[in-house]
């Protein structure tokens, strides 16, 4: 099928560019490492407290992985802005490559990088000896990470097509990401928050992604948060990928 073949070609090119310039991938892994070694130890006295019943590290690391997906995927649009400025997108107008594939290939490349970074962080946390890892749950958790990264990468690429400027892109992304992160329970479980803030968090799909990641990480495969996160994040991913693909198709039409 032409779309699949074209998607693979665009994906391969994007991954090759990532491998040639891996600095961005390394930088996006360093920040979670800082949190892992400089912030997580502060939570160890909270083992057994509400929200930390499974352990401090077992609670914090899954949230950290969702944060990695949040920030790692939300900023991929900056690369597309550079390609717009260099005329790469303009030259694509005369190619027979599917316009949908041009978008999907880039999105899949961003998601692949995020999943590998998440897996590297889990392995690193496990090597510290302070974390009990339920690997089947981690495998399912990476599917949540994949959906999260796919959705955010699509949003980032769509915004890049609309804004066409790093000066506009940076504050827009930060304005969107910061409140999402703060009311998702990434840093601390929302059970510790006042009731009004917990009520607000229930409207944040990333709250369900964080709780699902924690449930899967601890081996609770039947948690309601798992199907809720899959439904909310999956539904939003389909909707936002459709929107971003339309924006991208118009840009290179």
pLDDT in tens, 194-227: 999 999 999 999 999 999 999 998 888 888 999 9
Of all residues in the chain, what percent are helix, strand and coil, respectively (each to 5)? 80, 0, 20
For the chain, the straight-line distance linking the first and the last C-alpha, in angstroms and rounded, comes to: 21
Closest CA to 191 of 15, 86, 51, 92: 51
Tell me: the pLDDT tens digits for 80-98?
A: 888 777 777 667 666 777 7
In Å, how far are 19, 52, 139, 152, 172 from 119, measured between CA atoms?
A: 17, 22, 9, 19, 29
How many domains is the chain built from?
A: 1
Rounded mean pLDDT of 176-193?
88
* Cβ contact 105:248 at 8 Å: no
Residue by residue, DSSP assigns 19-69 as HHSTHHHHHHHHHHHHHHHHTGGGGGGGTTSTT-TT-HHHHHHHHHHHHHH
Tokens of residue 9, six digits: 């070609």
SS3 call for 125: helix
pLDDT in tens, 119-175: 888 888 888 777 778 888 888 888 888 888 888 888 888 888 888 888 888 888 888
The pLDDT score that the predictor gives to residue 101 is: 79
Range of the domain at 77: 2-251
- Say how many CA atoms lie within 13 Å of 155 toward its Cβ: 22
| pLDDT at residue 46 tops 70 | yes
d(CA 51, CA 90): 51
Instruction: Report whether 232 contacts 212 (CB < 8 A).
Output: no
pTM: 0.86
Cα of 30 vs its chain's centroid, Å: 16
């Amino acid at each position: 099928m032409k779309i699949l073949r074209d998607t693979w070609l665009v994906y391969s090119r994007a991954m090759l560019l990532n491998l040639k310039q891996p600095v961005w991938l390394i930088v996006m892994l360093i920040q979670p490492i800082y949190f892992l070694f400089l912030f997580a130890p502060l939570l160890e006295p909270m083992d057994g407290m509400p929200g930390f019943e499974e352990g401090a590290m077992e609670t914090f690391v899954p949230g950290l992985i969702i944060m990695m997906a949040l920030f790692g995927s939300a900023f991929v649009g900056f690369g597309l802005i550079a390609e717009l400025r260099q005329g790469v997108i303009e030259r694509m107008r005369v190619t027979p490559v599917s316009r949908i594939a041009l978008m999907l290939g880039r999105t899949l490349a961003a998601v692949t990088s995020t999943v590998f970074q998440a897996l590297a962080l889990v392995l690193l946390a496990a090597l510290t000896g302070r974390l009990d890892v339920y690997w089947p749950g981690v495998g399912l958790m990476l599917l949540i990470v994949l959906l999260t990264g796919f959705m955010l990468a699509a949003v980032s690429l769509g915004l890049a097509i609309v804004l066409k400027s790093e000066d506009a892109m940076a504050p827009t992304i930060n304005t969107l990401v910061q409140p999402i992160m703060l009311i998702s329970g990434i840093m601390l479980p929302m059970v510790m928050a006042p009731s009004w803030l917990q009520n607000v968090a229930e409207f944040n799909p990333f709250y369900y992604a964080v709780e699902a990641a924690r449930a899967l990480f601890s081996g609770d495969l039947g948690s309601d948060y798992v199907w809720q996160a899959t439904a909310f994040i999956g539904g939003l991913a389909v909707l936002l990928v459709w929107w971003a693909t339309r924006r991208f198709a118009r840009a290179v039409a």
